[in-house]
Amino acid sequence: MEIKTDPEFQDLIPKISNEEFKGLEESIINEGCRDSLVLWDNILLDGHNRYEICTRHEIPFKTIIKCFDDRDQAKLWIICNQLGRRNLAPEQISYLRGLKWKLTDKQPGERTDLTSRQSGARLKSIAKEHGVSSRTIERDAKFAEAVDKLPEEERKEVLAGKSRKTKKEVMGIMEREIIPKNKKEESESKDSNALWNLKRWWKKASNRDQASFKKWIDKN
């Protein structure tokens, strides 16, 4: 079976340092690949570094196949698997928790009157699972959204904990983009309503009123 890597899946897995990679490579060369690679069909979900090392040195490895209905479920498994590890930077943990909440909250086919209640219950469940408040998970989701809008190099620095920007500053970048957009939409909405009201008045206005309005337009 030809094993494939998926950039979107691989991007969910924090990069290890060069020293960590060399240590892993030395261990696999000396002791073999002890941990199985995890696949969804033929797409690699976990074990990217091991796969690279094993193929380069022609070292045999084992695989485990996972079954998921769609890509979101596969991504959720990767995120949960990564959150179960202890070598993550605080920024990585916050980012992954935020992505987990966004994916968990995407539940198609729910009844509209139950969505808010079910969403709130899921949020509390994730917060309890990670020992934080619901507000923290909501902030994590905003942080994850902001990080994904950063240029690639800056994004990597933030997730590696090497950026000079704080989490609050990173989230502020997105807020500065959203607020003007919302104001623009609000302005456009007001303009649209004003035009609609003007058209409505014009249809009902007398010839005299219409003539007076035209004169006022010409003067102004």
- Residue carrying the six token digits 């091991």: 50
Residue 45's pLDDT is 97
Is 150 inside any structural domain?
no
What is the distance between the alpha carbons of residues 76 and 8, in angstroms, rounded to a whole number?
A: 12
Is 99 inside any structural domain?
no
Both structure tokens of 143: 């942080």
Number of domains present in the structure of the chain: 1
Predicted TM-score of the model (pTM): 0.72
Is 169 inside any structural domain?
no
Residue 112's pLDDT is 47
What is the distance between the alpha carbons of residues 126 and 123, in angstroms, rounded to a whole number?
A: 5
Q: What is the mean pLDDT of each run of 10 residues along the chain (220 residues)?
A: 92 90 97 96 96 97 95 95 87 94 74 65 92 94 91 85 80 62 54 72 78 75
In angstroms, the Cα distances linking 172 to 44, 150, 157 are 35, 12, 17
- 63: containing domain: 1-85
What is the distance between the alpha carbons of residues 182 and 188, in angstroms, rounded to a whole number?
A: 10
Nearest to residue 150, comparing CAs of 132, 167, 135?
A: 167
